[in-house]
């Protein structure tokens, strides 16, 4: 294969704002219809994106109204979000349709279809709970049958319109979800396998539409066991699922989601599983799987249409998934799929249980389908160290079928030099004071006074915006509204004068409370900016049994500079950064010479696995005062 198009070319997976440049297209995301005119003036025709939402699917609910993650509000919040953002107004909104039994029976047994069909009838009232309890992770009520028929039928309808060319792409906002449902069994909150029914419908019932090869991408955090089984021996369907697997212990559990499950007979090689063995996977991990598995294979397979089992339970904040994909991550994954099939993509909702996350992620995806500009950047730059062995194993297992997977990933790629995360602590005051250990003072000098570096560079903001740091606060700045004054501007109680905020007003990407084995070693009662209330520093040499609670905000290094300016009553519009990359580097070096007990512990280490870098406790973290 041509090495220049090799999926293993270096640095592909680093998620930076450079991804944005690939993405820029005409049209804005605010949803005013006249912006579509802009798009057309720019020579771009607005794409026709279909949406189906029907409140009737909300009637499927727990029998006695008990709380359940797969709740009716899931699809409501998505629909409301699309409306509020002005995005649904730019789409083609279609009415829902019930699936036909003969289409359901393309992938389900007659018995299963009949069970779901009759489950909500009066005659079943007394048996319904019993039936549900004998199934795996299923509840049923009087609304279940109709919702299941509408969910499957709606995915079929969007798929049909996209295949016909009447729509460019579409999103069926449906529930119950489908991908766990097997030929003869409802499970995992799924009654009919909506996506599988649609795929089989196109292939078997609509030869006139010319769909001969279908790529099903399943990015729900759970393995799409049902879909896998339904097309196990079918080379017309390439099934790709990325999911938590945890060596077979994550739902739906067992070996089905293993990467050795590649299909059988004529379907051998047409089933691809990417099993994560731990949670916390995020944008960078998913995009690594995209860049080094899915995208090269999709290029070879050359599908006629893509069906997307779009669960959003790998999203950050999901209560079941434990992963960390951001709306931006989803939009990049989807955008990368738009290169195929002239963008003929049918999204069907699967899981996703954090209402806010699924609404935002859905919006980001529909904006991609509309070819809006992708705005937000991602939080994470590098995959887990443990992600590469998974990707390598999958590539190795499947390279006999997909030559583009045959090359070894380059050493450079999988051993990317990863900048250590740094915790920066700033106080609200720049006056110097005795620092018994010299450390705090020394670094403070280093950071505040060495700012005549590279004044020629006016682009310091862009550069520093790409670097995330942890801003560790204690005392007053632990109160979020107070810290946010530095980022978003404003004045809270206790602040003597309003802050202008950072140039980049995006809120901290993460806020974490951690207890550190250090105690406060000095404080000040009064500071220029805050008046009475003061600041404190942790004593790095204190007894390790002493504990200090700190609040860590993940912000960019650009924002950190603006925080520093405001704390020290300096102007924000300086040509150079107060604390630039060189300062960060020297702060790191200063810290690295200190004995182990001295340094703070980076949040990654506290949370668990060695992520994205390997380090010991003594190679981290800068103080900046």
Q: Does 35 bind ligand X5A (CB under 6 A)?
A: no
- Judged by beta carbon, residue 146 or residue 220, the one nearer Zn ion is 220
Q: Does 61 bind ligand X5A (CB under 6 A)?
A: no
- Judged by beta carbon, residue 71 or residue 598, the one nearer ligand X5A is 71
10 Å CB burial of residue 517 (0-12, 13-18, 19+) is: middle
Whether the CB-CB separation of 208 and 384 falls below 8 Å is answered with no
- Judged by beta carbon, residue 250 or residue 516, the one nearer ligand X5A is 250
Among 177, 269, 383, 421, which residue interacts with ligand X5A (rule: CB under 6 A)?
177
Q: Which of residues 312-331 bind ligand X5A (CB under 6 A)?
A: 313
Q: Which of residues 335-354 bind Zn ion (CB under 5 A)?
A: 351
> Which two three-digit tokens encode residue 147?
């919702």
Among 311, 329, 377, 508, which residue interacts with ligand X5A (rule: CB under 6 A)?
311
Whether the CB-CB separation of 275 and 184 falls below 8 Å is answered with no
Among 25, 114, 137, 183, which residue interacts with ligand X5A (rule: CB under 6 A)?
137
> Which two three-digit tokens encode residue 57?
């699917």
Report helix, strand or coil for 601: coil
Closest residue by Cα to residue 354 from 376, 327, 378: 327
The sheet with strand 345-349 has its strands ordered as 92-94, 49-52, 169-172, 345-349, 305-310, 214-218, 237-244, 271-276
Q: Per-residue string for binding with ligand X5A, 233-252, x by CB under 6 A?
A: ------------------x-
Secondary structure element (H or E) that encloses residue 368, with its range: helix 355-369
Report helix, strand or coil for 449: helix
Task: Choose from Zn ion, ligand X5A, none: what does 388 bind? Cβ within 5-8 Å by kind.
Answer: none
Q: Does 279 bind ligand X5A (CB under 6 A)?
A: no
Q: Which phi and psi (to 5°) does residue 608 adopt?
A: 155, -115
Do the bridges between strand 510-516 and strand 548-556 make them parallel or antiparallel, or are there none, so unpaired?
antiparallel
Q: Which of residues 191-220 bind Zn ion (CB under 5 A)?
A: 220
- Judged by beta carbon, residue 250 or residue 401, the one nearer ligand X5A is 250
> Which two three-digit tokens encode residue 218?
């399943």
Among 313, 380, 468, 567, which residue interacts with Zn ion (rule: CB under 5 A)?
313
Terminal-residue alpha carbon distance, the chain = 54
What's the chain's length in residues?
625
Beta-carbon contacts of residue 45 (< 8 Å; ≥ 6 apart)? 39
Question: Catalytic residue at 180?
Answer: yes
Task: Choose from Zn ion, ligand X5A, none: what does 580 bind? Cβ within 5-8 Å by kind.
Answer: none
Closest residue by Cα to residue 550 from 611, 452, 477: 477
Other beta carbons less than 10 A from residue 625's beta carbon: 26
- Judged by beta carbon, residue 76 or residue 223, the one nearer ligand X5A is 223
Q: How far is the CB of 190 from ligand X5A (least distance, A)?
A: 6
- Judged by beta carbon, residue 330 or residue 486, the one nearer Zn ion is 330
Q: How far, in Å, CA of 95 to CA of 75, rounded?
A: 15
Q: Which stretch binds ligand X5A (CB under 6 A): 186-194, 357-365, 402-410, 475-483?
A: 186-194
Q: Does 180 bind ligand X5A (CB under 6 A)?
A: yes
Among 222, 292, 336, 621, which residue interacts with ligand X5A (rule: CB under 6 A)?
222
Annotated active-site residue in 180, 245, 451, 613: 180
Task: Choose from Zn ion, ligand X5A, none: what does 397 bind? Cβ within 5-8 Å by kind.
Answer: none
Q: Does 229 bind Zn ion (CB under 5 A)?
A: no
Q: Does 222 bind Zn ion (CB under 5 A)?
A: yes
Q: Does 351 bind ligand X5A (CB under 6 A)?
A: yes
Q: Does 257 bind ligand X5A (CB under 6 A)?
A: no
Do the bridges between strand 345-349 and strand 169-172 make them parallel or antiparallel, or are there none, so unpaired?
parallel
Q: How far is the CB of 259 from Zn ion (least distance, A)?
A: 19
10 Å CB burial of residue 485 (0-12, 13-18, 19+) is: buried
The sheet with strand 423-425 has its strands ordered as 423-425, 468-473, 548-556, 510-516
Q: How far, in Å, CA of 214 to CA of 341, rounded?
A: 10
Number of C-alpha atoms within 13 angstroms, CB side, residue 489? 7
Q: Per-residue string for binding with ligand X5A, 389-408, x by CB under 6 A?
A: --------------------
Q: Does 157 bind ligand X5A (CB under 6 A)?
A: no
Task: Choose from Zn ion, ligand X5A, none: what does 190 bind? Cβ within 5-8 Å by kind.
Answer: ligand X5A
So which residues are the catalytic ones?
A: 180
Q: Provide the binding-site residues for Zn ion, judged by CB under 5 A.
A: 220, 222, 311, 313, 351
Q: Provide the binding-site residues for ligand X5A, judged by CB under 6 A.
A: 137, 177, 180, 188-190, 220, 222, 251, 311, 313, 350-351
């Amino acid at each position: 294969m041509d090495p220049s198009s090799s999926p293993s070319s270096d640095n592909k997976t680093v998620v930076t704002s450079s991804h944005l440049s690939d993405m820029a297209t005409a049209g804005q995301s605010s949803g005013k219809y006249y912006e579509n005119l802009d798009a057309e003036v720019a020579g771009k025709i607005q794409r026709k994106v279909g949406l189906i939402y029907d409140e009737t699917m909300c009637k499927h609910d727990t029998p006695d109204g008990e709380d359940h993650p797969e709740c009716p509000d899931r699809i409501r919040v998505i629909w409301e979000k699309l409306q509020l953002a002005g995005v649904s107004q730019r789409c083609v909104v279609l009415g829902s349709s019930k699936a036909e039994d003969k289409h359901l029976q393309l992938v389900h047994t007659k018995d299963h279809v009949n069970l779901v069909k009759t489950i909500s009838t009066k005659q079943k009232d007394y048996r319904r709970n019993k039936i549900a309890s004998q199934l795996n992770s299923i509840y049923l009520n009087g609304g279940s049958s109709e919702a299941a028929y509408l969910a499957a039928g709606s995915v079929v309808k969007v798929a049909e319109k996209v295949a016909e060319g009447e729509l460019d792409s579409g999103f069926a906002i449906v529930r119950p979800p489908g991908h766990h449902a097997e030929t003869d069994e409802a499970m995992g909150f799924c009654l009919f396998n909506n996506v599988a029914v649609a795929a089989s419908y196109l292939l078997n019932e609509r030869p006139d539409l010319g769909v001969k090869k279908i790529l099903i991408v399943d990015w729900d955090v759970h393995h799409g066991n049902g879909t896998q089984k339904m097309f196990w021996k079918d080379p017309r369907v390439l099934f790709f699922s990325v999911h938590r697997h945890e060596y077979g212990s994550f739902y739906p559990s067992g070996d089905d989601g293993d990467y050795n499950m590649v299909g059988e007979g004529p379907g051998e090689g047409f089933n691809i599983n990417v099993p994560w063995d731990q949670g916390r996977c995020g944008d960078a991990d998913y995009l690594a799987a995209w860049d080094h598995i899915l995208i090269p294979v999709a290029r070879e397979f050359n599908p006629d249409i893509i069906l997307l089992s779009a669960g959003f339970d790998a999203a950050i904040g999901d209560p079941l998934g434990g992963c960390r994909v951001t709306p931006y991550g989803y939009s990049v994954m989807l955008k990368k799929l738009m290169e195929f099939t002239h963008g003929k993509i049918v999204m069907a909702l699967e899981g996703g249980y954090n209402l806010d996350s699924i609404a935002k992620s859905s919006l980001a995806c529909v904006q991609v389908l509309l070819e809006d500009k992708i705005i937000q950047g991602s939080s994470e730059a590098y995959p887990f160290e443990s992600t590469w062995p998974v990707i390598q194993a999958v590539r190795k297992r499947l390279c006999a079928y997909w030559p583009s997977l045959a090359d070894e990933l380059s050493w450079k790629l999988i051993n990317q030099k990863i900048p250590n995360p740094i915790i920066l602590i700033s106080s609200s005051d720049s006056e110097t004071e005795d620092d018994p250990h010299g450390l705090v003072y020394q670094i403070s000098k280093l950071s505040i006074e060495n700012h005549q570096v590279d004044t020629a560079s006016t682009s310091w903001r862009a550069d520093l915006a790409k670097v995330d740091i942890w801003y560790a606060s204690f005392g007053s700045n632990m109160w979020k509204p107070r810290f946010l004054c530095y980022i978003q501007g404003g004045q809270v109680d206790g602040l003597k004068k309003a802050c202008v905020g950072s140039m980049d007003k995006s809120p901290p990407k993460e806020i974490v409370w951690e207890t550190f084995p250090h105690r406060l070693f000095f404080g000040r009662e009064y500071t220029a900016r805050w008046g009475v209330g003061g600041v404190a520093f942790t004593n790095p040499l204190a007894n390790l049994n002493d504990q200090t609670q700190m609040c860590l905000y993940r912000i960019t290094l650009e924002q950190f500079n603006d925080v520093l300016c405001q704390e020290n009553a300096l102007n924000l519009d300086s040509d150079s950064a107060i604390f630039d990359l060189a300062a960060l580097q020297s702060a790191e070096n200063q810290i690295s010479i200190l004995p182990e007990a001295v340094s703070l512990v980076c949040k990654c280490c506290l949370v668990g696995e060695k992520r994205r870098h390997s380090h010991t406790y003594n190679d981290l973290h800068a103080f900046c005062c």
